[in-house]
Amino acid sequence: MSKLKDFGALLKDLQKVNDANASKVFTSLFRRGYSLFNFKAADAVRIFDASDRNLRRWKSGEKIPPAANLVLKFLREEVEREVRQDSKTAPAKKSRSDNVFKLLPPSAGRSHAKKSVPLGRVNPKYPTTCTTFWKQMEPALHSVMDAALKKTGVTSAAKSEYKGVTRRIYRAAVISAAAFLQKRTHASSQFLQKQGNEAVSKAVAKLFNSKTTDFDGETDFQ
């Protein structure tokens, strides 16, 4: 439970964040989180994007890591995993452990998640569900796409150009996602297009609150 106490301290620090000290607090949080959970070097590179350039910038407090919410989520999940393990061996401690999470600001690590994932709801046979992917990926993807949009320097005031570059980002993102699927599974061209089109249609139905066919009986992203 010592890690849990340490994590509580991290979260208290997080509550002190304001515009003036955000860089300092986040840099400290990431450093301590890194050592607290003993990430392997490869994992740390993945989670923290710990390129030399980024590390230098973060350590000097020059820049707040762009994936702050994502890393907080990882830290939180790590502690939740510990709590689950502790709960199995000592159920009486669970409510005390839950109190630690109440220290979290409502948006920390789950900016787009509408509901929290209750402890102990992970299916051990199929540990990460579509819903979890959705909650993990959407904030991160939107952040990447937002960053690309900002890089153009085009503001929403320039309506036509803004729509144009946003459309390009959207299309580039779709193509990138397709490249990922093809690389990982060598999916056929037809499969890739069918799955992608279904996903778009389903997303559109959800975004516009219209009824749609439940493609091949799946319940993804409901």
The two three-digit tokens of residue 85, written as one number: 């393990």
Q: Is 174 in the site for other proteins (CB under 8 A)?
A: yes
Interacting residues with other proteins between 52 and 111 (CB under 8 A): none
Q: How many CA atoms lie within 13 A of 86 on its CB side?
A: 18
Dihedral class, residue 61 (left if φ above 0, else alpha if ψ from -120 to 50, else beta)? left
Tell me if 140 sits within 8 A of 172, measured CB to CB: no
The contact pattern for other proteins, residues 192-211, with x = CB under 8 A and - = no contact, is xx-xxxxxxxxxx-xxx-x-
Q: Is 9 in the site for other proteins (CB under 8 A)?
A: no
The two three-digit tokens of residue 190, written as one number: 């037809």
* Binding piece for other proteins, criterion CB under 8 A, among 56-64, 79-87, 98-106, 159-167: 159-167
Interacting residues with other proteins between 132 and 151 (CB under 8 A): 132-134, 136-138, 140-142, 144-149, 151
Least distance CB 221 / other proteins (angstroms): 6
Q: How many CA atoms lie within 13 A of 139 on its CB side?
A: 19
Least distance CB 8 / other proteins (angstroms): 24
